[in-house]
Amino acid sequence: MATNDSSVPKLPMKEIPGDYGVPFLGAMKDRYDFHYNQGTDDFFRCRMKKYESTVFRTNVPPGPFNARNSKVVVLVDAISFRILFDNSQVDKENRFEGTFMSSPSFNGGYKVCAFLDTTNSKHSVLKGLILSTLTRLHDKFILIFTNSITPMFTSLEKELSEKGTSYFNPLSDNLSFDFIFRLFCEGKNPIDTSVGTNGPKIVDKWVFFQLAPLISLGLKFIPNFLEDLVLHTFPLPYFLVKRDHQKLYNAFYNSMKDILDEAEKFGVKRDEACHNFVFLAGFNLYGDLKVFYPSLIKWIGTSGPNLHNQLVKEIRTAVKEAGGVITFSAIEKMPLVKSVVYETLRMDPPVAFQCAKARKNIIISNHDSSFLIKKDELIFGYQPLATKDPKVFKNAEDFIPDRFVGDGEKLLRYVYWSNGEETDDPTVNDKQCPGKDLIVLLGRLLVVEFFLRYDTFEIEFGKLLLGSKVTFKSITKATS
């Protein structure tokens, strides 16, 4: 047996509390609690409180008939959660979405890199191709982003002028898709391809059909039992999005010759490589930014003018010292910007769940006890609680902009949004998101670009299916 952290002293062994209820009925009850009776966050908080443990047993969605096995051991603290990153002890084959896997038809019949375990021979090849591509494109990140974000600000100001408010989410989605497409597709404008102006909507639909078993629409005029039957009981069929997905695939395939040429050097067929990059672009990068960007603006907006003034001073000073140009070295001189981005990822991780299967009997530990997880049991981490662990983070439920400044950087190892510790770098031998550093950079760039143009702003926010709904009420243009 092994432990998830060899530096943790031995703690008293304890049986994992919780239960799965009556077969089938227990899974259905827990599914209704998750979607309708409690909601996602309270579902885990209530069980943590009930069992007085951050490690417990329960069923998780989708259950029957989307998932063969809904029985899991849940981890909701920062210490036990790390077992999910130890690939010598856990298997993540087909576990990208949780206890179920959407049909490979959504990816051209291929099992893309995200669904492969590290022991699968294809994993290192495909992830190696992705990491190599991102490294090769690194010098283009800032220039492409700067060009992509300008139309967003134009639309933001126009909407505020004409309507008095501006809904940020669609502007953010357009920015994200435009940047990602141009990055992988040799600078080509997605509007000039088969997706036209509908790129974000096509990706939204394609992703929704895959994640539907974990989503509740929250529509009052649709009875819960009907929504549950349609969304959570059986997989949504691919043919309903096939036409749009084909447009998306064709747009990438016809526009990323250099990447596909490189893929062949890695021994990967052009078709398979394209489906992997469509998944990386649409599901991983665009999907993360769809949640992350509105959340970032939400937390900065609600923090008020004091934080805005600090960010203005830090950003404009660093850019001025760099000759008035945004550079990588200038960004590195903005510790508060970096901390704000990491704190957002801690508070609202774009991916809430991590799932794996135990390769063998494992002893894990939280802050108080040790637990035995048996071989082949499913382990399920709920990240929004793990990264708000009060025994690791002071005032863990509060957004503290400078939490990771100075000595606070030591806490970055407990930021897990990328399926790994923030202090680690993704490699071909792990399951950490290959776009981890790019997402962080894009967060920092959004903040920098924003406060080069504006001094302060006001927003209002609410909830969406995935993430936050953010509406600008006012912006104050830069005065210095």
Binding-site positions: 433
Positions at the binding site for heme: 433
| Sheet of strand 71-75, all strands in order from the earlier edge strand to the far edge | 55-59, 71-75, 378-382, 353-358, 90-91
Tell me the three-class secondary structure of the chain, residue by residue: CCECCCCCCCCCECCCCECCCCCCHHHHHHHHHHHHHCCHHHHHHHHHHHHCCCEEEEECCCCCCCCCCCEEEEECCCCHHHHHHCCCCEECCCCCCCCCCCCHHHHCCCCCHHHCCCCCHHHHHHHHHHHHHHHHHHHHHHHHHHHHHHHHHHHHHHHHHHHCCEEHHHHHHHHHHHHHHHHHCCCCCHHHCCCCCCHHHHHHHHHHHHHHHHCCCCCCCCCHHHHHHHHHCCCCCHHHCHHHHHHHHHHHHCCCHHHHHHHHHCCCCHHHHHHHHHHHHHHHHHHHHHHHHHHHHHHHHHHCHHHHHHHHHHHHHHHHHCCCCCCHHHHCCCHHHHHHHHHHHHHCCCCCEEEEEECCCEEEECCCCEEEECCCCEEEEEHHHHCCCCCCCCCCCCCCCCCCCHHHHHHHHHCCECCECCCCCCCCCCCCCCCHHHHHHHHHHHHHHHHHHEEEEEEEEEECCCCEEEEEEEEEECCC
Which string of b and e fits 430-445 if b means at least 16 CB within 10 Å? bbbbbbbbbbbbbbbb
Rounded to an integer, what distance in angstroms lies between the CA atom of residue 242 and that of residue 103?
Answer: 12
**Under a CB-based contact definition with an 8 Å cutoff, are residues 312 and 455 in contact?**
yes
φ, ψ of residue 90 to 5 degrees: the values are -130, 150
**Would you tell me how many other CB atoms lie within 10 Å of the CB of residue 160?**
16
Q: Which two tokens stand for residue 79?
A: 């210490």
